[in-house]
């Protein structure tokens, strides 16, 4: 229930009486919530079998005030469905060359979303995220190449969705409670964690006291930037560590590290491993110090698209020949681990066991 929208609709009722009704309805919703969530992944409601327990957050709410969402933001999604709602119908109604899925991606993240320098003049985008985009386009529009890729920097992922410039963002985007109030997320498609990247010769050992006095680079709007700022305030990061002005794109941090302008980079371990593969003079330092999940991001109002993507993700994971595992083996096994177990997100059944 969206309490703010309900308040607006009741303005004509008169102040005290209206608020009494709002509070009563809100209380009823809270009391009924456990019942609506108890169906879990086996629900047979109109939306299809549930991927997770939670409901999609809305912009007027503050998901970070809910301890359950803070604890497990990756569970806050909608049940999968193969139905075409209004959002998908509008996408399919695009005419001619414009009948494409418009997707925000990265073009500079090696093995995730990048332009192959050996692809000639076409410079086609390739990588793990790009494979997923092609799969989504194939399922929704019947053509894996019916995609209009829009390269967007890290700090433009959310504005691009809110302003309707893209239908979705598939760009190593972490699901967290703050973002759940800004955009809608699919079920998670990848598991990772924040990690430190530094020159091999650096005395930095990981996310610890060896960062004291060091200059650390993060991307604007990234989970890493928020985490470091919060940790320094809480005393979990040395007070003398300098979080430098964030950069628009994650790759900019690697460039600054190569130029000696910063001493370390903090980003998702999955991205850091790819950057280390690009530059043999740098390496991951220490273990991941958070657990995070990537999701496909969409507009808050695109519930039908979220459900459809969740259905596609479920099928993509089951497809052993041309699905998630095949893409991992092709793009990421060389830089992460040949065993993909650590990178696979929880299944719906695992949500039920641990939720």
Q: What is the mean pLDDT of residues 166-171?
A: 98
Residue 307 has pLDDT above 50, yes or no: yes
Residue 273 lies in a domain: yes
Residue 121 has pLDDT above 80, yes or no: no
Same domain flag for 73 and 222: no
Q: What is the pLDDT of residue 46?
A: 38
Residue 354 lies in a domain: no
Q: What is the pLDDT of residue 2?
A: 41
249-271: pLDDT as tens digits? 888 999 999 999 999 999 999 99
Tokens representing 10 are 């009741």
Q: What is the pLDDT of residue 168?
A: 98
Q: What is the mean pLDDT of residues 322-345?
A: 95
More confident site: 298 or 121? 298
Same domain flag for 244 and 300: no
Same domain flag for 178 and 297: yes
Residues of the chain with pLDDT > 70, as a percent, come to 79
89-109: pLDDT as tens digits? 999 999 999 999 999 999 999
Of the ranges 43-52, 67-76, 248-257, 306-315, which one carries the lowest mean pLDDT score?
43-52
Residue 345 lies in a domain: no
Same domain flag for 254 and 185: no
Q: What is the reported pTM?
A: 0.81
Question: CA torsion sign, 138 to 144 to 145 to 149?
Answer: positive
User: What's 245's domain CATH number?
Assistant: 3.40.190.10
Residue 15 lies in a domain: no
Range of the domain at 244: 194-285
User: Average model confidence (pLDDT) for the chain?
Assistant: 84
**φ, ψ of residue 36 in degrees (nearest 5):** -70, -25
Domains of the chain: total:
2
pLDDT band at 119 (very low <50, low <70, confident <90, very high): low
Residue 225 lies in a domain: yes
Q: Which of the listed residues 268, 285, 302 is the one where a domain comes to its end?
A: 285
Residue 156 has pLDDT above 50, yes or no: yes
Same domain flag for 164 and 111: yes
Same domain flag for 168 and 304: yes
Q: What is the pLDDT of residue 250?
A: 87
Write the DSSP symbol of residue 73.
Answer: G
Q: What is the pLDDT of residue 18?
A: 41
Same domain flag for 237 and 119: no
Q: What is the pLDDT of residue 60?
A: 52
177-198: pLDDT as tens digits? 999 999 999 999 999 999 999 9
Q: Which of the listed residues 257, 285, 313 is the one where a domain comes to its end?
A: 285
Q: What are the residues whose beta carbons fall under 8 Å from the beta carbon of 94, sequence distance 6 or more? A: 100
Residue 11 lies in a domain: no
Of the ranges 219-228, 292-301, 317-326, 339-348, which one carries the lowest mean pLDDT score?
339-348
Same domain flag for 121 and 233: no
Residue 328 has pLDDT above 60, yes or no: yes
Same domain flag for 302 and 170: yes
Q: What is the pLDDT of residue 249?
A: 87
Beta carbons of 227 and 292 less than 8 angstroms apart: no
Same domain flag for 111 and 198: no
Q: What are the residues whose beta carbons fall under 8 Å from the beta carbon of 179, sequence distance 6 or more? A: 73, 158, 173, 185, 297
Residue 179 lies in a domain: yes
Dump strand ranges (E) for 39-161. 101-105, 108-109, 113-115, 125-126, 147-151
Same domain flag for 162 and 305: yes
**φ, ψ of residue 47 in degrees (nearest 5):** -75, -10
Give the alpha-carbon dihedral of 221, 227, 230, 232, to 10 degrees. Answer: -120
Give me the residues paired with residue 292 across strands. Answer: 192
Residue 119 lies in a domain: yes
Same domain flag for 159 and 242: no
């Amino acid at each position: 229930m969206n309490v703010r929208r309900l308040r607006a609709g009741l303005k004509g009722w008169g102040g005290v009486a209206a608020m009494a009704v709002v509070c009563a309805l809100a209380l009823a919703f809270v009391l009924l919530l456990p019942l609506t969530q108890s169906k879990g992944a086996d629900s047979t409601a109109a939306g299809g079998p549930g991927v997770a327990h939670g409901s999609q957050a809305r912009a007027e709410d503050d998901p970070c005030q809910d301890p359950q969402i803070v604890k497990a933001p990756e569970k806050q999604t909608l049940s999968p469905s193969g139905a075409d709602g209004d959002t998908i119908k509008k996408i399919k109604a695009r005419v001619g060359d414009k009948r494409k899925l418009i997707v925000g991606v990265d073009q500079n993240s090696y093995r995730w979303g990048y332009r192959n320098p050996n692809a000639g003049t076409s410079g086609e985008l390739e990588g793990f995220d790009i494979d997923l985009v092609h799969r989504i386009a194939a399922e929704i529009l019947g053509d894996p190449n019916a995609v209009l890729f829009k390269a967007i920097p890290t700090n433009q992922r959310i504005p691009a969705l809110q302003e309707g410039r893209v239908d979705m963002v598939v760009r190593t985007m972490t699901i967290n409670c703050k973002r759940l109030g800004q955009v809608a997320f699919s079920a998670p498609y990848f598991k990772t964690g924040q990690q430190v990247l530094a020159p091999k010769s650096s005395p930095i050992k990981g996310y610890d006291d060896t960062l004291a006095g060091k200059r650390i680079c993060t991307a604007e709007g990234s989970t890493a930037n928020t985490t470091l700022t919060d940790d320094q305030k809480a005393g979990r990061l040395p007070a003398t560590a300098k979080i430098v002005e964030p950069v628009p794109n994650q790759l900019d941090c690697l460039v600054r590290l190569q130029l000696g302008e910063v001493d370390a980079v903090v980003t998702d371990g999955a991205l850091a491993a790819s950057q280390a593969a690009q530059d043999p003079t740098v390496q991951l330092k220490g273990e991941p110090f958070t657990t995070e999940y990537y999701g496909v991001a969409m507009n808050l109002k695109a519930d039908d698209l979220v459900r459809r993507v969740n259905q596609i993700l479920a099928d993509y994971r089951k497809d052993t020949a041309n699905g998630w595992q095949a893409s991992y083996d092709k793009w990421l096994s060389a830089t992460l681990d040949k065993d993909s177990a650590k990178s696979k997100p929880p299944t719906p059944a695992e949500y039920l066991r641990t939720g």
